[in-house]
Amino acid sequence: MNEVAEVLCAGIVVADHICTPIAHLPAAGELVMADRLLLTIGGCAANVAVDLVRLGHSATVIGRVGGDVFGRVVAEMLRAQGVNVGFLQTSPGVDTSQTLIVNVTGEDRRFIHSFGANAEFKAADLPTAALEKARVLYVGGYLLMESLLEEELAEVFAVARLQGVKTVLDVVTPGPADYLARLRKLLPHVEVFLPNNHEAELITGKKDPLEQARSFHQLGVRVAIITLGQAGAVVVSDEGEWRVGTFQVPFVDGSGGGDAFAAGYISGLLQNRDLEGCLLLASALGASCVQAVGTTTGVFTRPECEEFLKQNCLRIEKIH
C-alpha cells in the first residue's frame, strides 16, 4: 500500500523494550522486579506517525527495518495503529534498530541502543513523487544516520518547499561532534526545527536555549523551537520570540515526549493554526505522552486533547 498521507514521517524506526519504573538499578547478579516489560514502537519517525494518526491525521512512515522478527513486529504494530507502511523498507541481513529503556523511580531514563537498519537510511529513500500529495514532510533523527547526507536531504527539502510542503526537522546527537557542518546547507530549507536544549548545545556550543534558537533562526530556520523537557520551550521565529511553559501532569516516563510535541505542532500546522495555537497542541500532546510508560501509549486522541485543553491552561509569553 503506497497511498500518500498528509504527513510523510521519515527517519528513525526502532523496536523499544521498556520496563515500568523499578526501585533501583540492579547490582551485578541482582534481580530487580518490574511490574511490566513492554515491546513497543519507537524511533522519531514511527512515534510521530502514530501520534498523528491518534489525532485523526493520515501519516506514512518512511524508514528501514531489518529482516528479523523485530522488523516484522514493528511493521505490524504500525499497521495496527493505522499508519501507512508502504514505504517502510527492509534491509536484508541487518537487525532492526532496538533500544532498551530502563526507568528508575525518580530518575531520568537510561538507554541501551543498537542502531541496526537505520544506518542504511538515505535521502534517496524519500520518494519525491509522494511530496506532491503530502502537506508536511517530517524528518526525525537527522545527525544520527550517517548515510543521510546533508546535500541530498537539502535537495529533497528544497523540492518540498517549492511544492508548498511544510518541512519539519528533528535531530539526535549521539555525542560531541561538528554538527553545524551537516546543518548549514539544510537549515535554510527547514520550516520548523525542533532540537532539545542538550542537542542544541552540542550543535551551537551555547548554553542559553534562547541564544541557541536565535542561532538556528539566523541560519535560515523559519521557526526554531528548543524544547526543555519539564521546563517547557523557547521559540524564535520570523514573528518574534516566546517562552512556553508546561502543563502540570503526573510524570511517569519521558520516552517519546519530544516526538509527541513534534506531532502536536504538526497537527497545528495541518489545522492552519497560528504559532501559539501550534505550541498549545504540541505542549498538550507532550504532556499526555509522559503520563504513561512507552513512547506512544498515553498520547491523546483528538477528543481527549480537546477536553484536556478545555480544563487546563498553558503559559505562552511573547518576550520580543
| Position 76 in a domain | yes
Within-domain flag for 106:
no
Alpha-helical segments (H) within 55-134:
69-80
Within a domain: residue 107?
A: no
pTM: 0.93
Strand-pairing partners, residue 60, are 8, 84
- Angle 257-270/44-54 helices, nearest 10 degrees? 50
Tell me if 108 is assigned to some domain.
no
Domain count, the chain: 1
Per the domain annotation, does 179 fall within a domain?
Answer: yes
For residue 217, the domain's CATH number is 3.40.1190.20
In the 8-state DSSP scheme, what is residue 57? Answer: -
The two beta strands, 59-66 and 7-11, are parallel
How buried is 43 (Cβ within 10 angstroms: 0-12 exposed, 13-18 middle, 19+ buried)? buried
Give the residue numbers spanning the domain of 279. Answer: 7-12+43-94+116-318
Q: What b/e readout covers 165-187, taking b as 16+ CB neighbours within 10 angstroms?
A: bbbbbbbbbeeeeebeebbebbb
Contact status, residue 193 vs residue 158, Cβ threshold 8 Å? no
Q: Match 508548498 to its residue by C-alpha cell.
A: 164
SS3 label, residue 18: strand
Q: Which alpha helices (DSSP H) does 205-249 contain, by range?
A: 209-218
Q: Which helix H or strand E contains 41, and what residues bound it?
A: strand 37-42
Residue 111: inside a domain: no
24 found inside a domain: no
Per-residue HEC secondary structure of 266-300 comes to HHHHHCCCCHHHHHHHHHHHHHHHCCCCCCCCCCC
Q: What does the pLDDT profile of the chain (320 residues) look like in tens digits? A: 456 679 999 999 999 998 989 999 999 999 999 999 989 899 999 999 999 999 999 999 999 999 999 999 999 999 999 999 999 999 999 999 999 989 899 888 888 989 999 999 999 999 888 888 899 999 999 999 999 999 999 999 999 999 999 999 999 998 899 999 999 999 999 999 999 999 999 999 999 999 999 999 999 999 999 999 889 999 999 999 999 999 999 988 888 899 999 999 999 999 999 999 999 999 999 999 999 888 898 999 999 999 999 999 999 999 98
Residue 32 located in a structural domain: no
